[in-house]
Amino acid sequence: MSNARAEPQILSWKVGGMDCPSCAATIRGAVERLPGVSDVKVSVMSELLTLSLDEARTGREAVEKRVAGLGYTTAPIASKAVSAKPEPTACGCGHDHSHAGHDHGDHEHGDHGHHDHAAGGHDHSHDHAPVKASAAAAAKADHGHGLPGHVHEATPDGVSWYQTNKGRLVLVTGALLAAAWSASLLWPAASYWAFVAACLIGVAPVARRAFAAARAGMPFTIEMLMTIAAAGALVIGAAEEAALVVFLFAVGEVLEGVAADRARASIRALGDLVPKTALVEENGQTRQVDAAALMIGQTVLVRPGDRIPADGEITSGVSGIDESPVTGESVPKTKGVGEPVFAGSVNSEAALRIRVTKAAEDNTIARIIRLVEEAQEARAPTERFIDRFSRVYMPAIVGLALLVALAPPLFFGGEWSVWIYRALALLLIGCPCALVISVPAAIAASLSAGARQGLLMKGGVVIEAAAKTGVAAFDKTGTLTEGRPRVTEIVALGRPEREVVELAAAVETGSSHPLALAILDRARTQAVPVRPADDGSAIAGQGVVGTLGGVAIFVGAPRHAVARARFDDAANAAVERLESSGKTVAAVIADGALAGLIALRDEPREDAAAGIAELKALGVRSLMLTGDNARTGAAIAGSLGMEHQAELMPDGKVTAIKSLAATTPVMMIGDGINDAPALAAASIGVAMGSGTDVALETADGAVLKSRVRDVAAMIRLARATMGNIRVNIAIALGLKAVFLVTSVLGYTGLWVAILADTGATVIVTANALRLLRFDAGRAG
């Protein structure tokens, strides 16, 4: 027999019955005490238990038995579902770097596109180091979850609350309670035993779970408090109140389960956007397959009106794609061959053939869902404090209840039954469930609402940091601006405007340089015919030349063009005016004479000015950090009404961020790839981008619609969430304080105590769920 010990395996189970952090804490605490079990992770949002198990010491059946003993159901999940999170991919932008002959002006194209085209003034550094995931780090920093609490049962899809075990228990105990009250009218002698029966039947499953948790090393659970209170009430003859307390406790659990399921429903709805089947095309034939089984490299046919079943690349066809399920952007985008598409998007116009580029578990919507689920583990500092507080609070409440039960009868001649009754009421009102759930319920609702609006924040720690933001630092290219140059102005000098465009477009045809593409785009916009120039070539460091209809053409920077044509005062003044406003200028020379000037600039996004104004209204200072030259930086920042720092290398951006962070929390907004060091240095790093791998996997948050206004929306959502949490904590502690006093003084009894506890829990949960309807995009 071999003595070799098997390597621990990563195993995963779907757990039924979780709907609050206390459930996760109960399972985690019970399972991690088993020998050979380590790295236990429990996600309430995804109802998932993942752990590392040495089966030579403990079998997986023992894990399932331990969880089942706590009142939960388990279903093993195939090991592929527990795959490690994919590494951030390196930049694969595929831009053409070769157009060396272009030199349209002093800016050397540094501000345009995402690569340094022989330019010193480029705004990005191409440092691809992954961004520090501060949320993940915070999650790892504190593994201790709070008080073991209620065992809840989530309502499965299509199953009503009364069809669940908890629902049936409520109906049975309610019926027994009604029967006992009826018996008290018709047969008073038997009514006491009817109430006893209702209490015992209702408390039995609660007691079973309480003792299972105690055997697992967790005696201070809410189930144990409930069991002690019910048993104590029966001992002192308060059977009617004991039965009522058990019934109200069960009702509270059902209400909490329904409320928690509503929070999960918004995430489930995202998953439902991806179609269940797909049409795979092979050898000219199509066949229907399960969308989850699609493999990378397969070609799928997507008909007009159908949802796209996988992330992929169009290989045939042109159509309008509605990407609102992924990005929230309502206007369809026209896409053609070679362009990427996302699973769950709607093909609105024509048939498309799409090559699958990502497996089902790695498509954009699946990653968004996974990130939101994982974000539940990145708990807010407030939540971690409450968890630590609760671990001390529970034993303190039990000790106080014992003091109330024993001290007055022993030392002051009090009546035993009266003070035991008050101590039992104190136990019930002392249950910290409302306090424990006050933070995670709000965080879960906020994450769900944000995901639906294209705002991703990785957990409570990120939400709390975003709410405190005092400075929003923006990268320029691709963040505040569109990331590609556009022709902003044409100055006709020796020839008409259309002819200037035609001549420039002729020599730029076939080039993939950003400035060339901008000129060709302007020609298309003005319906100028584009004919390729003859003998076209690039002159390194100067520009491009060619001939069209016998006319010799040169397009390049004015400083190189002056050697080929005369610039009069008007031409020189025009060049100075355009360059002083941060624009790149291309001079067009035809047959040795200046035909005209073309001004290009990477323009701010349409919503950039409005986004900066909204941040200012929120009291957040805006700052642009750019590697571009000072003149361009000043022009863009001035048009948006914000501060700026220009000509910064990547380490310069980090220095600027650290300097700002010394006095106030800083949010850095960048493209998620080139600004990695600055994103990592900030209090919270937010990536702009429609679901790119790097944007989703590395930053603390992401703005999927690539809108500047959504930065203000993210801060508004974060502040609303923290305000909601403060209200929840006030409700939970306020009600506790009032009823603790009234219970000790004897003004309120057992049923009022449990009603107050359940009521507080339902109130804070309902208040948190209001965030699901929060419109983060609405200013004011």
Distance CA 704, CA 693 (A): 12
Place of tokens 């019970």: 30
The amino acid at 176: L
3-state secondary structure of 10: strand
Contacts of 174 (CB under 8 A, 6+ apart): 247
- Secondary structure of the chain: what % helix, strand, coil (to 5)? 50, 20, 35
Distance CA 35, CA 31 (A): 9
Contacts of 572 (CB under 8 A, 6+ apart): none
Length of the chain in residues, anyone?
780
The amino acid at 748: T
475 is catalytic: yes
List Cα–Cα distances, 77 to 43, 361, 556, in angstroms: 14, 14, 62
Place of tokens 């014992």: 402
**Under 8 Å between Cβ of 286 and 278:** no
Single out the catalytic residue among 475, 602, 675, 757. 475
CA of residue 453 relative to chain centroid, distance: 10
**Under 8 Å between Cβ of 457 and 714:** yes
Query: Pairing mode, if any, of strands 684-688 and 666-670?
Result: parallel
Distance CA 574, CA 594 (A): 13
Contacts of 757 (CB under 8 A, 6+ apart): 252, 428, 429, 431, 433, 434
3-state secondary structure of 602: coil
The amino acid at 714: M
List Cα–Cα distances, 486 to 100, 207, 363, 524, 598, in angstroms: 20, 71, 32, 13, 10
Question: Structure tokens of 283?
Answer: 């050898």
Distance CA 519, CA 531 (A): 13
Q: At what angle do helices 239-272 and 750-769 cross, to 10 degrees?
A: 10
- Which residues are designated catalytic? 475
